[in-house]
């Protein structure tokens, strides 16, 4: 049975379909999560969270928008990136506390402000992308995937994946070029 059918059955509360969906897809989803987190223990936790999201939100899946595998990989990737961001935030909090305990040089503060402002510019620019461009760019540049891997993850022809990445980069360049 295809993943699309299984997700639709999950939306109707079919436990057996969910078990089959997990058996059929979890290895591939886990592989993506491990590539982002690089920590098997955390990856297992994120895998559980991902499938819980898939179960809870299966009614939102729209086969006209994306393949079921692409939809699930997007959920997994976002969950993994959220985990990385959470870890970075916790680390940053600890780092801020350590910095507060000693004298801060002006250059360090200036660099942190510049970095924070640049990160905000990138976030604003990413928000201007279409969802398909953003997804392809996130996989390629934040997920570290090759164009071929992005195409496979999104269940697209290689040329389409490359076009989405290129168009997204052009749009980012145009958006960020005007914000200096």
Domain shared by 150 and 98, yes or no = no
Of 48, 71, 102, the residue at which a domain comes to its end is 102
- Per residue in 13-34, is it b (16+ CB within 10 Å) or e — as a string? eeeebbebbbeebbeebbebbb
Strand (E) or helix (H) holding 95: helix 68-100
Q: Which long-range contacts (CB under 8 A, 24 or more apart) does 11-14 make?
A: 11/58, 11/59, 11/61
> How many C-beta atoms lie closer than 10 Å to residue 110's C-beta?
10
Domain shared by 25 and 81, yes or no = yes
76, 138 contact by CB (below 8 A) = no
Measured CA to CA in angstroms, residue 33 lies from 51, 77, 88, 104, 145 at distances of: 12, 6, 17, 37, 12
Model confidence pLDDT, tens digit, residues 103-130? 555 455 556 666 677 777 778 888 888 9
Model confidence pLDDT, tens digit, residues 23-51? 999 999 999 999 999 989 999 999 999 99
Residues of the chain with pLDDT > 70, as a percent, come to 83
Q: Structural domain tally of the chain?
A: 2
Domain ranges, residue 176: 110-180
The model's pTM is: 0.52
Domain shared by 81 and 119, yes or no = no
């Amino acid at each position: 049975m295809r993943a699309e059918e299984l997700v639709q059955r999950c939306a109707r509360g079919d436990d057996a379909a969910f078990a089959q969906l997990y058996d059929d897809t979890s290895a591939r989803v886990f592989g993506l999560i491990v590539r982002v987190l690089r920590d098997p223990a955390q990856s297992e936790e994120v895998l559980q969270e991902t499938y819980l999201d898939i179960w809870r939100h299966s009614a939102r899946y729209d086969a006209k928008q994306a393949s079921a595998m692409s939809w699930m990989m997007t959920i997994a990737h976002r969950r993994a990136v959220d985990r990385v961001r959470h870890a970075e935030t916790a680390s940053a909090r600890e780092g801020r506390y350590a910095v507060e305990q000693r004298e801060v040089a002006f250059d360090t503060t200036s660099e942190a402000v510049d970095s924070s402002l640049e990160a905000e510019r990138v976030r604003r620019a990413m928000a201007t992308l279409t969802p398909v461009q953003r997804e392809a760019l996130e996989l390629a540049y934040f997920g570290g995937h090759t164009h071929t891997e992005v195409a496979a993850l999104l269940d697209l022809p290689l040329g389409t994946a490359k076009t989405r990445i290129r168009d997204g980069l052009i749009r980012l360049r145009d958006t960020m070029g005007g914000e200096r």
